[in-house]
Copies of this chain bind each other. A is one copy, B any other.
Amino acid sequence: MEELLDRVNFRIKLAGEELAIAVVQDYRTQEVLMVAFMNREALAKTLATRKMTYYSTSRRKLWVKGETSGNFQVVKEVRLDCDGDALLFKVEQRGAACHEGYYSCFHRVLREGEWVTQGERMFDPEKVYGGRR
């Protein structure tokens, strides 16, 4: 495991941590669901548990995706890019990825000079998080 992690370049300094980028893709449809950050510990935990675990730069702690909402992401495939600072995870998404209730966090698309939200909410964020995230 250590040798595997040594190949990752945690070069992004945010919130006092050294981070790599995690891109998350639906393993069935290939839709990109979200982008977040991992420190070394978050990546080790993700690989050990097969549940996506990030480092939250706002809460400054490890964050198991789905621990509040139930919307876990189960890892199906892991890829590393050529310069080692970004990882690509293909996952089985339970529920929806976005804390705003949409399946993907990339629900805004550029149309005629404006960001336009596409798609329907799959859940009501207030009911799921009740002010938390």
- Which A residues lie at the B interface, using CB under 8 A? 1, 4, 7, 11-14, 21, 23, 25, 29-32, 34-35, 47, 77-83, 85-86, 88, 98-100, 102, 105-110, 113-115
Q: Are B110 and A82 in contact (CB under 8 A)?
A: no
Which residues of B lie under 8 Å from residue A82 when comparing CB positions? 98-100, 102, 105, 107-108
Give A58's nearest chain B residue, CB to CB: B83
Q: Which of B11, B25, B100, B102 contacts A32 (CB 8 A)?
A: B25
A83: nearest residue on chain B (CB-CB)?
A: B105
The answer on a CB contact under 8 Å between A86 and B35 is yes
Give bound CA distance, A86 to B86, whole Å.
Answer: 13
Q: How far is the CA of A79 from the CA of B104 in the complex (A)?
A: 11
- In the assembled complex, which residues on chain B have CB atoms less than 8 Å from the CB atom of A34? 81
**In the assembled complex, which residues on chain B have CB atoms less than 8 Å from the CB atom of A77?**
109-110
